[in-house]
Amino acid sequence: MAEKINDLIFKELIKRGYSLRGNTRIWNIADSKLWYLTPKQAQAYLDLENSKGYRELMFSAELKMINKYMPEISSKILHGGAVNIIDIGCGGGKKAVVPLETLHKKAKVRYCPIDISSHMITEAINEIRKLNKGEVVEFQWNISDFDNLENISSLLRDSTYRQNFFMFLGDTISNFEIHEVLYEVVEAMEEGQDYLLIGLSLANNKPNEIIKPYNLESNDKFFGLILAQLGFEKDEVEFGVRFENSRVEAFYTIKKDKTLEFSDKSVHFQKGDQILIGVSYRHKIADLEKIMKIYFEEYKFYFNEDKTRALILCKK
Ligand SMILES: C[S@@+](CC[C@H](N)C(=O)[O-])C[C@H]1O[C@@H](n2cnc3c(N)ncnc32)[C@H](O)[C@@H]1O
């Protein structure tokens, strides 16, 4: 079914234009802001999380680590009697269940989901309310690129809830230039008081393994909604995934010449052009260590068995 043209995506395409990689014209609109613009897109991500392949390799793999390490993390982080759990890019909120239950055994907890998408925030609030443990903030913090995280964290820090525990899970950090986004998060943390838990996939020398969770029909369904909102039909583009430039690149190849039009603007695509729609960086452990040293006084890495993923607990 044809989607309504989304002017934000169209504008982004015009603003960024294309660059050449060899002879191929690459239209780079890889920005996670465009992935969750509508409730339908946000729901498509939650469906992706539940789809075979992605679920085991990404979602459940991290959840397993959270289950395993949360008791240790909880004893490290708790200072006093009450803590805000600030879930940055909360998604459906399922990854917060175990942290919340574990912390709730020892402290007063308040859950605060933050996301660009209202659909996600509503889902996360409902998920956590069901537990009936601790408080859930009523306000919807819809923020883009986690720009004003600092304001939110200081608003949440009150005389009861003095400490913030930030969770930045699900490889969300991998969709950003790591320094840009870490800077925003670190600014929101109080020295010696707050903690951050990052969850991400790691680099290795097996690119075919790295792209596996992305090279699936369910990813095409999710990313395809962006192309549909530009006016492409399904049979006019082909989904592809590769590992290049230290990152997974999800892209669409244009199968035949096409001109897209919106208000008074038009963009012409040639057969063979590619639209880069998503990137997910993979860092080596040694590089991540160097990065953590820049921002944090203390940090600890927790790995899964084959060292394809890490949770990093950080204190400023
Ligand atoms: C990969 S999902 C991870 C969801 C969840 N944390 C998990 O681990 O399952 C990324 C989440 O961050 C939000 N997000 C992505 N890019 C964002 C941006 N630029 N600004 C604000 N939120 C964003 C998405 O809406 C989505 O809920």
Residue whose CB lies within 8 A of the most ligand 1 atoms, among 33, 41, 115, 119, for a mutation test? 115
Domain boundaries, the chain: 7-30+207-281, 54-203+283-315
pLDDT of residue 142: 77
Separation of 65 CA from ligand 1 center, angstroms?
A: 19
169 C-alpha to ligand 1 centroid (Å): 9
Fold type of domain 54-203+283-315 = Rossmann fold (3.40.50)
pLDDT at 1 over 60: no
The number of beta carbons lying within 10 Å of the beta carbon of residue 8 is: 11
- Tell the residue nearest (CA) to atom 19 of ligand 1: 145
Q: What is the pLDDT of residue 139?
A: 77
Q: What pLDDT, in 10s, does the model give residues 85-100?
A: 999 999 999 999 999 9
Q: How confident is the model at residue 81 (pLDDT cuts 50, 70, 90)?
A: confident
What confidence tens digit (pLDDT) does each residue in 178-235 have?
Answer: 999 999 999 999 999 999 999 999 999 999 999 999 999 999 999 999 999 999 999 9
CA distance 123 to 10: 28
How many angstroms is it from 24 CA to the middle of ligand 1?
30
Please give the mean pLDDT across all residues of the chain.
95
Choose the residue to mutate in 33, 36, 40, 100 for probing ligand 1, maximizing ligand atoms within 8 Å of C-beta. Answer: 36
Residue with tokens 């919807």: 140
Give the pLDDT band (50/70/90) at residue 143: confident
Strands 82-88 and 163-168: parallel
Closest CA to 58 of 214, 239, 276, 224: 214
Question: Of all protein residues, whose CA lies closest to atom 18 belonging to ligand 1?
Answer: 145
- The whole model's pTM is what? 0.97
HEC assignment per residue over the chain: CCCCCCHHHHHHHHHHCEEEECCEEEEECCCHHHCCCCHHHHHHHHHHHCCCCHHHHHHHHHHHHHHHHHHHHHHHHCCCCEEEEEEECCCCCHHHHHHHHHHHCCCEEEEEEEECCHHHHHHHHHHHHCCCCCEECCCCEECCCCCCHHHHHHHHCCCCCCEEEEEECCCHHHHCCHHHHHHHHHHCCCCCCCEEEEEEEECCCCHHHHHCCCCCHHHHHHHHHHHHCCCCCHHHEEEEEEEECCEEEEEEEECCCEEEEECCEEEEECCCCEEEEEEEECECHHHHHHHHHHHCCEEEEEECCCCCEEEEEEEC
Percentage of the residues of the chain whose pLDDT score is greater than 70? 99
pLDDT bucket at 41, cuts 50 / 70 / 90? very high
Tens digit of pLDDT for each residue in 278-296?
Answer: 999 999 999 999 999 999 9
| Probe residue for ligand 1, chosen from 8, 35, 116 as the CB with the greatest number of ligand atoms within 8 Å | 116
Name the nearest CA neighbour of 57 among 236, 206, 239. 206
